[in-house]
Structure 1
Amino acid sequence: MANPYKEIFSVPGTIGFSTAGFFARLPIAMAPIGIVAMLSQAHGEYWLAGAVSATFALTNALIAPQVSRLVDRYGQSAVLTPATIISVMAFLTLIAATNRGWPVWTLFASALFAATMPSMPAMLRARWTGLFRDRPEMNTAFAFESAADELVYIAGASLSVGLAVALFPEAGMLVSTLCLALGTLAFVLQRATEPAIRTAGSGSPQTSAIRLPAVQIITLALVFVGATFATAEVSAVAITKDLGQPNAASLVIGVYGVGSFIVGLLLGAINPSMPLQKQMMIAVTVLGLTALPLPFAGTVPLLAIALFISGVAISPTFITAFGLVERRVPAAMLTEGVTWVTTGIGIGMALGAFVAGWAVDTFDPQNGFWVSVAACLGALLTVALGQRTLAGEDCDDGVCPTPQAAE
């Protein structure tokens, strides 16, 4: 049996843009939790750390789709460079404001401007789609990207917290900013694999991808999934600190996605034939069931085990979600459609970080995980109620048919 991953990476340029994109998207995981780790240590208040992180993530969730819409219209190389420069300068200002004790308003202002950070997962999936559109290899490529996203959350969040705890509060954010700057530069310089600009078909007016019902459903579902990420990260930092083992936070967060990473790679190799909307329903159901033990994990080993099990369904949720977007969104707005779904995760992480931080400060660290349980229930209900729409026919050359009844 041929190795499907070897086949997709045999295409010239795929290893290069995939490697550069991996480093460029590390800040997706490093920045939100890095802000929390940096400010909670520098100021000693989780609510402030969560609020600044939420400001960045929520603003990015609104701005990144507009950046991607410009990318769909003018191309990646023309848009990514200026957007990244603004974001890098703002992150550096946020780090300086924390280190030098500048007024609190400068933290929020910096977080607002840092939100111009582009959605690299969308850029990567757009390149894969340009290479393998309507071919079986694209399912494998999307599965690889979902597994890589998971690895980003494993490595990024763990690295960000670990550096902040082991070195100094700003260390994680410094590395995150460096990855954003150098990774995006390397990605943009690889012009050979940049997807061509596609215009909307005659049956599809140039509108926003968020107006499509399927994008709305998937985005909302991943808002809830993103909330589970942030809750796990904030609660893990608070619990390990409360137990007198703060250095264990990076390890506990790291194991969160290991199982999911492995399952994601297996799904990419197997390519199940079950309809994607049904696969997504199964994934979010498992996600909800495995979240139930989290509030009762009162030691570091139990916490690590519970998070490992809880993370198993994350990559399958991502794989099916992005696969559905690729099939339900016209090619001329694919980058924007993927970005809305990606930033849905960011919105969830922002809200999850804020609510979990409040729960930790108000009650105790263990109660933060009840936010995860509630968020998983929200994802399950959203996907269940949206099955009819998600089972619609594929878009073809810019035209999306009316959703049909689920099989």
Structure 2
Amino acid sequence: MPSLPALRRRPALPATAPLLAATGHTLAVAAPAAPPGSGPGGPPPPPPPRRPRATATSGSGPSGYLALLRLPGATAFTLGGLLARLPAGMFSVSAVLMIAASRDSYALAGAVTATGLAATALVAPWTARLVDRYGQRRVARPAAALAVCGALALVACVRLGAPAWTLFAAYAATATVPNAGAMARARWQALLGEDPARRHTATSFEQAVDEVCFMAGPALAAVLCTALFPEAGTLTGVALLAVGITLFTAQRATEPPPHPRPATGSAAPLRRPGTAPLLAVFLATGIVFGTLEVTTLAFADTAGHAAAGGLIVGLQAAGSCVAGLVYGARAPAGPAAARLPVLLALLTAALTLPALAATTGSAALLAPAVLCAGMATAPVMITAMTLVQHRTPPARLNEGLTLAVTAILTGIALGSALAGQAADRLTPGTGYTVALAAACAAIAFATRLRAPALSGVRG
């Protein structure tokens, strides 16, 4: 069992002491009046009622998720976080379609979005560090405003026929989009405290939300850009980001307190033991995601079912979403560091299915194989994110989670490039072999996490 916070380990105070109520990172001090008729020698006053954090049941199955959403402010910040996360999947697809439509160059569009990804990898950890230091509201709102300005500048540059270099500069400004997923996970951790079962459920829920955004964001962008006008996807993403961040940060009661000066021992996540192999796991898993998507699209196109490629990729995300919710509804068995290599081994086994299906040349066989592979990804991500949350001090939590997401995005970019080369130079299904190799590498990195300092993490 994880140790209780230091505040709860203190010796009991006498009955005459003021009452202390700890909620999240907030300490409330109250001196309630004595009940009528009670004197100095009477019985001590009853303790104050606890907030939902202490009384909500962890539950299992759907009831566990409902119990989380019943906590004050949870539904509101979840809705805001959902809206704020959708643009992350919309901006890149919208930029590609918008630039390609106006400049007739997919090469330019791809280069612009690749530059934006590189900028995100550099800027996102610093934005997250500022969030930890100064608070979500004070940093997320101006960071989102800067990203909105960058997206609007990109639209203006495209419409006005500005030089190509302005597209790179404008899109790079969108790298300041705050990581709503990391901020939401930080809020759950502050709300739930040292409750591994409920934190496991919350992490699983957030992973499912990520998958929903992964499915809906690019699809919504493609529909808007093709059905309305090329700039519609970017403009809609701007509106969703502004509304989502505003709703999310408006929930002040659930916001974790800032840490202007990190406490002693809260070193930067990259300097903490076990962080490097854990980030390597995220990088390798991102390569799996990138190769699966590009290889599936290339295979479907070669097989004469180009329209079905997007649907098959959607099955991967849908399988991951459902598996994440099911996995989160059950109590985890054993330490997270011990579970991660096992789950990665299951993912590796599942990845053999699309590799085998590709040898048949049948898109009908590939679809269920990709669905099974997608179902194996969510437990891996949930367990790995749990390790990040436990290994990162609260003063650096947003930074640690954002580093993990950055590693995933970098892996997706590498995997997409490798799968594209494999599809052009070899066969469309060769990319599934690349995914298998990346999964095996992830297992090797995960085995390095089974150290004494990590093996006790059960969330």
Could you tell me which residue of structure 2 aligns to residue 27 of structure 1? 87
Equivalent residues, number: 393
| 8 Å contact from structure 1 (residues 220, 344) kept in 2 | yes
| 8 Å contact from structure 2 (residues 353, 370) kept in 1 | no
Alignment deviations for residues 281-324 of structure 1 (CA, whole Å, 9 cap, x no partner): 12222222222343553444333222211111221112111111
Equivalent positions of 1:142-181 (< 5 A) are 142-164=203-225, 170-181=231-242
Q: Which secondary structure state, in structure 2, belongs to the residue aligned with residue 118 of structure 1?
A: coil
| 8 Å contact from structure 1 (residues 87, 116) kept in 2 | yes
Alignment deviations for residues 70-120 of structure 1 (CA, whole Å, 9 cap, x no partner): 111110111011111121222233345556665443333233221111111
| 8 Å contact from structure 1 (residues 359, 365) kept in 2 | yes
User: 1:43 offset after TM fit, Å?
Assistant: 6.4
Could you tell me which residue of structure 2 aligns to residue 387 of structure 1? 450
Q: Which secondary structure state, in structure 2, belongs to the residue aligned with residue 191 of structure 1?
A: coil
- Residues 168 and 195 of structure 1, relative CA distance in 2, 3 Å threshold: same
Q: Which moved more, 1:281-290 or 1:340-349?
A: 281-290
- Residues 392 and 278 of structure 1, relative CA distance in 2, 3 Å threshold: closer
- 1:162, 1:203 → 2: CA distance? 50
Which amino acid in 2 is paired with 1:219? L
| 8 Å contact from structure 1 (residues 277, 387) kept in 2 | yes
Could you tell me which residue of structure 1 aligns to residue 171 of structure 2? 111
Could you tell me which residue of structure 1 aligns to residue 245 of structure 2? 184
- 2:284, 2:310 → 1: CA distance? 23
- Residues 378 and 91 of structure 1, relative CA distance in 2, 3 Å threshold: farther
- 2:395, 2:314 → 1: CA distance? 37
Q: Which moved more, 1:169-178 or 1:147-156?
A: 169-178
- Residues 337 and 141 of structure 1, relative CA distance in 2, 3 Å threshold: same
User: Is 1:346–2:409 an aligned residue pair?
Assistant: yes
Equivalent positions of 1:125-136 (< 5 A) are 125-135=185-195, 136=197
Q: Which moved more, 1:7-16 or 1:241-250?
A: 241-250
| 8 Å contact from structure 1 (residues 36, 49) kept in 2 | yes
| 8 Å contact from structure 2 (residues 134, 260) kept in 1 | no
- 1:234, 1:46 → 2: CA distance? 16
Could you tell me which residue of structure 2 aligns to residue 402 of structure 1? none
Could you tell me which residue of structure 2 aligns to residue 254 of structure 1? 314
Alignment deviations for residues 104-161 of structure 1 (CA, whole Å, 9 cap, x no partner): 4333323322111111111001111111111242221112111221222222244344
- 1:204, 1:315 → 2: CA distance? 31
The structure carrying a bigger helix percent of its residues is 1
Which amino acid in 2 is paired with 1:253? V
- 1:329, 1:359 → 2: CA distance? 37
User: 1:245 offset after TM fit, Å?
Assistant: 4.4
User: 1:389 offset after TM fit, Å?
Assistant: 6.7
**TM value normalised by structure 1:** 0.85
Which amino acid in 1 is paired with 2:81? G
Larger Rg: 2
- Residues 227 and 167 of structure 1, relative CA distance in 2, 3 Å threshold: farther
**TM value normalised by structure 2:** 0.76
- 1:244, 1:164 → 2: CA distance? 24
- 2:427, 2:158 → 1: CA distance? 26
Alignment deviations for residues 157-179 of structure 1 (CA, whole Å, 9 cap, x no partner): 44344545555555444433332
User: Is 1:235–2:298 an aligned residue pair?
Assistant: no
Aligned equivalent of 1:52, options 106, 112, 119: 112
Q: Which moved more, 1:49-58 or 1:7-16?
A: 49-58
Could you tell me which residue of structure 2 aligns to residue 376 of structure 1? 439
- 1:22, 1:179 → 2: CA distance? 9
User: 1:49 offset after TM fit, Å?
Assistant: 4.5
- 2:95, 2:425 → 1: CA distance? 20
Could you tell me which residue of structure 2 aligns to residue 310 of structure 1? 373
Identity of aligned pairs, percent? Answer: 36
- Residues 73 and 201 of structure 1, relative CA distance in 2, 3 Å threshold: closer
- 1:101, 1:248 → 2: CA distance? 35
- 2:227, 2:307 → 1: CA distance? 7
User: 1:235 offset after TM fit, Å?
Assistant: 3.4
- 1:77, 1:325 → 2: CA distance? 23
- 2:228, 2:363 → 1: CA distance? 22
- Residues 111 and 283 of structure 1, relative CA distance in 2, 3 Å threshold: farther
- 2:111, 2:157 → 1: CA distance? 16
Could you tell me which residue of structure 1 aligns to residue 198 of structure 2? 137
- Where do 5+ consecutive residues of structure 2 fail to align? 1-58
- 2:244, 2:189 → 1: CA distance? 21
- Where do 5+ consecutive residues of structure 1 fail to align? 395-407
- Residues 172 and 200 of structure 1, relative CA distance in 2, 3 Å threshold: same
User: 1:339 offset after TM fit, Å?
Assistant: 1.1
| 8 Å contact from structure 1 (residues 214, 389) kept in 2 | no
User: 1:239 offset after TM fit, Å?
Assistant: 4.1
| 8 Å contact from structure 1 (residues 87, 114) kept in 2 | yes
Alignment deviations for residues 212-269 of structure 1 (CA, whole Å, 9 cap, x no partner): 1333222221112122223333334444444554443432221112222122112211
- 1:340, 1:66 → 2: CA distance? 10
Q: Which moved more, 1:104-113 or 1:131-140?
A: 104-113
- 2:440, 2:416 → 1: CA distance? 17
